[in-house]
Structure 1
Amino acid sequence: MKSILLIEDNNDVRSNIVEILALAGYNVISAENGKVGLEKAIKYSPDLILCDIVMPALNGYEVLKTIQANISIKHIPFIFLTAKANNDDIKKGLEFGADAYITKPFSGIELLNSISCQLNK
């Protein structure tokens, strides 16, 4: 079973995504902010990371930068999942090194397709 780390500060959004991923057969590890998410990424070395951008403690860009600097986890596919939806935000996220960028609101199918695509690379 593939494991996915979800880093999302909004409780309702986090719960909904956890449910979607669990129903799709993924083992889900969740974190309520970037600092906790980074700690869990190092501890569990998941198969994929979904991360919001605007969060307390560490924002998504800081999380990604720290992951990219850590040799043991830098290979993990990283998807930004955020409400920052204008073209400049998307471009910045991808230039920062994210493998994909999903904007909120999104459908469960869109989320699962993006995850599947990254895991099958």
Structure 2
Amino acid sequence: MRILVVDDSNIIRRKAAEILEQAGHECDLAENGLEGIKMALSNTYDAILTDIVMPVLDGLKLILRLRASAKTRHVPILVLTSRSDSDTVLQARELGVDGYLLKPIDPEILLERLSSLRRHSTDQDD
């Protein structure tokens, strides 16, 4: 899978990329939502992993823009954030995220969620 990782923390971006690349995935990295939307619209991704709290353009606005674009409307989106309050989780769900993971990154859970998204996407294509 080709995955876009959007997070303002360099440590989180590198850790996520390390986990994903060791599992055989290809990763592109963006440090904020604006950079993420530009990359998502100019490339093709099998999934997008995004934080919520970021400068320039936050994750909720990124998700809103991704879901509004015909090019990215159906790309699975996983949120990886430290925000666990019910309002943020509900907002993300209402915007159409496919999964919500809390930091710190648990490699097994991250890879399982991606695998689940891939199976679900393949089932819908049939």
TM-score between the two structures when normalised by the length of structure 2: 0.91
**Greater helix share, 1 or 2?**
2
Report % sequence identity: 34
4+ runs deviating over 3 angstroms: none
What letter corresponds to residue 64 of structure 2 in structure 1?
K
Aligned to 1:29: 28
Q: How does 1:95-106 map to 2 (within 5 A)?
A: 95-106=94-105
Query: Counterpart in 1 of 2:40?
Result: 41
Return the offset for 1:120. 1.3
- Segments of 5+ residues of structure 1 without an aligned counterpart are none
Aligned-residue Cα RMSD (Å) equals 1.0
Q: How far apart are 1:80 and its partner, in Å?
A: 0.8
Q: In 1, distance between residues paired with 2:46 and 2:67?
A: 15
Give 3-state SS (helix, strand or coil) of 1:120's partner: helix
How many residue pairs get aligned? The number is: 120
State the one-letter code of the partner of 1:96: L
Equivalence map 1:37-76=2 (5 Å)? 37-76=36-75
Within 5 Å, give how 1:80-91 maps onto structure 2: 80-91=79-90
Q: Deviations over 1:65-93 (max 9, x none)?
A: 11111111111001111000133322221
